[in-house]
Amino acid sequence: MEISTFSEVGGGIAVREVAWDDADAVALRAGQRAEIAELYGTHDSEAGPAPSAGDIAVFLLAHGADGTPLGCGGLRRLAGATGEVKRMYVTPEARGTGVAEAVLRGLEDWARRSGWRALRLETGDRQHAAVRFYTRAGYARISNFGPYAQSPDSLCFERAL
């Protein structure tokens, strides 16, 4: 199902829901994990349980007009009407083109339609661009929650929907 479409200079980008094991989604998540491993110097920087097909409520994929996968993101349900943004990632060559905004807005729209009232997320203290992005998108810094509570490298954010 196509979630949203928007245009950028040079072509359109479509955001659609895909299965967790979609080949493009798997490849993008592998790219995200490789970047994190390089940035933090470890292949196991996951502070909590890794997301999986069993606990991700929705996973979105952004494709360029030519079908190239450009970015992704998912949502994990937390307690009550709150969700957690997981595995947000945009390929290096697509950064700054609006892909991340399109994926995040798609996730937020899905969460609203599902009756969720807030989204939370965790990012690392070395991911300065991610911190700027989420702050611009209306997410405010909160105390580290859940599995991130004891993680000194974690920064947590939340946005009411």
pLDDT at 28: 98
Phi, psi of 134, deg, nearest 5: -65, -35
Q: CA 40 to CA 69: how far, in whole Å?
A: 25
Collect all residues with Cβ–Cβ distance below 8 Å to 70 and sequence separation of at least 6.
Answer: 13, 62, 63, 64, 90, 91, 94, 97, 99
Instruction: Specify the residue for token string 């009411």.
Output: 160
pLDDT at 10: 39
Instruction: Specify the residue for token string 């072509």.
Output: 11
What does pTM read for this prediction?
Answer: 0.91
Q: CA 161 to CA 159: how far, in whole Å?
A: 6
Collect all residues with Cβ–Cβ distance below 8 Å to 47 and sequence separation of at least 6.
Answer: 122, 147, 148, 151, 153, 154
pLDDT at 11: 55
Q: Each residue's pLDDT tens digit in the chain (161 positions)?
A: 445 444 343 358 899 999 999 999 999 999 999 999 999 887 777 777 889 999 999 999 999 989 999 999 999 999 999 999 999 999 999 999 999 999 999 999 999 999 999 999 999 999 999 999 999 999 999 999 999 999 999 999 999 99
pLDDT at 41: 82
Domains in the chain, ordered, with CATH?
2-116 (3.40.630.30)
